[in-house]
Structure 1
Amino acid sequence: MGFLELFFIAVGLAMDAFAVSICKGLSVGVAKPKYVLCVGLYFGGFQALMPTIGYFVGVNFRGAIESVDHWIAFILLAIIGGNMIRESRGEEECVGARFDVKEMTALAVATSIDALAVGVTFAFLDVSIAPAAAFIGCLTFAISAAGLKIGTVFGTKYRNKAECFGGIVLILIGLKILFEHLGIF
C-alpha cells in the first residue's frame, strides 16, 4: 500500500471524528487551545490505537483466509463507507460541550470503530502497522482540531458533506484493492 492510498484511508477514517469535532465546536463557541488538544488527542489517539488492535487480530487469521483477503478488505471498506454515507444523510443532533473523560472516550471509541476493521484489512495487505497507525493518528489529530475550529466558525453546514466524502473514499479504496487482486489494474 502506497502513501497516497494510506493518506486517503486516513482522511476517510478521520471524517467521523471531524464531524463530531465540528459539533463540539458548535457547542463551545470558541476553540480554546485546551479544547483543540482534547479533541485532537482523544480522536487521534484512538484512531491510531484501533487499527493496531485490528491488525493484530487480522494477523492471527491471515493464513486461514489469504485466498479471499481482497474480498474481505473490499467488503469491510464498502460496508464502512456505505454506513458513513447513510449516516451523512441523517439529521443527527450534535453532541454537547462536555469534554470529560467519560464522554470523550465514548466518542473516540465510537468514531474509531471503523479503524479497527481497517486494521484487520491492513494485516491481510501486509501493511507496516506502526507507521500507518501513527500517520492515521496524527492526521486525525489535525483534522479533528481543524473540525473544532470550523465548528466554531461555520456550524453544521459541512458536517454531513465531510462524512459522505469519507464514505466515498473508503469505498473507492476497497474497489481499488479488489481490482488489483483480480488483475483488472
Structure 2
Amino acid sequence: MSPFSIGVLAVSMSVDAFIASMGKGTAGPRPSLAMTLRTGAIFGVVEAITPLVGWLAGVAASQAVAEVDHWIAFALLAGVGIHMALQAWTRAEDAPRAASLWATVVTAIGTSIDAMAVGVSLAFLQVNILVIALAIGATTMVMSSTGLILGRYIGARFGRIAETLGGVALIAIGAMILRDHLGGAA
C-alpha cells in the first residue's frame, strides 16, 4: 500500500471515532486537556488494536483463499464503506452520550469494528500491518481529540457528511485494490 492509501485508510477508519468524540463534546461541559487526551488515547489504542486482530484472523484463512483474495478485500472494504455511509444517515442523532470512562471505552470499541473488518481484508495483501495499525491509531487519537474540542463549537451538524465521505473512501480503496490485482494498474 502506498503512503497515500495508508493515509486515506487511516482517516477513513478514524471518521466514526471523530464523530463520536464530537458528539461527546456537544453533550458535556467544555472538555479539559486531560479529558481530551484521555479520550483520544482510548479511541486511538482501540482503533490500532482492532485491525491487528482482524489481520490475524485473515492470515489464518489466507492460504485457503489466495486465488480470490483481491475480491475478498474489495468486498470487505466496500461492505464496510457502504455500511458506514448508510449508518451515517440512519443512526439516531440523539443517541446517548455518556462521559464516563466505561462509556468512552465501549464507544471506542463500537466505532472500531470496521477497522477489524479492514484488518481481515489487509491480511490478503502484502502490507506491513504494524505500520497501518499505528497510522490508524495515531490518526484516530488526533481526530478524536480534535472532535471532542470541535464538538463544543460546531456540534454534529456536519458529522453525517464526514462519515459518508469516509465510507466512500473505503469503497474507493477496495476498488483500487481490485483494479491493481486484475492488472489495471498503470
Instruction: Report TM bin, short chain.
Output: over 0.9
CA RMSD, Structure 1 to Structure 2 (Å)? 1.2
Q: Which 4+ residue blocks in structure 1 deviate beyond 4 angstroms?
A: none
Q: Deviations over 1:137-178 (max 9, x none)?
A: 001000111111110110111111111111010000000001
Instruction: Give the superposition deviation at 1:3.
Output: 0.7
- CA–CA separation in structure 2 for the residues paired with 1:107 and 1:161: 20
Is 1:8–1:169's contact at 8 Å kept on the other side of the alignment? yes
> Which 10-residue stretch deviates more, 59-68 or 28-37?
28-37
TM-score normalized with structure 2 length: 0.94
Q: Which moved more, 1:151-160 or 1:26-35?
A: 26-35
**Unaligned ranges ≥5, structure 1:** none
Contact 1:55 1:121 in 2 (8 A): yes
Q: Which amino acid aligns with 1:137?
A: G
- What is the CA–CA distance in structure 2 between the aligned matches of 1:94 and 1:44, rounded to whole Å? 22
Aligned to 1:169: 169
- The SS at the match of 1:124 is coil
For residues 104-159 of structure 1, the C-alpha deviation after alignment (integer angstroms, 9 at most, x for no partner) is 22111110000101111111112111121111100100011111111011011111
**TM-score normalized with structure 1 length:** 0.95
Q: State the AA in 1 paired with 2:143.
A: I
Gaps of 5+ in 2: none
- 1:141 is aligned to 141
Q: Following the alignment from structure 2 to structure 1, what is the Cα–Cα distance between the partners of residues 129 and 138?
A: 14
Aligned to 1:96: 97
Partner in structure 2 of residue 108 of structure 1: 108
Aligned equivalents of 1:145, 1:95: Cα separation in 2: 19
Length, aligned pairs only: 184
Deviation at 1:91, TM superposition (A): 5.0
Q: Which residue of structure 2 lines up, in the alignment, with residue 37 of structure 1?
A: 37
Q: Which amino acid aligns with 1:147?
A: G
The question of whether the paired residues in 2 share the 8 Å contact of 1:24 and 1:94 is answered with no
- For residue 117 of structure 1, what is the amino acid of its counterpart? A
Question: What's the CA shift for 1:34?
Answer: 2.0
Partner of 1:73: 73
Does 1:48 find its partner at 2:48? yes
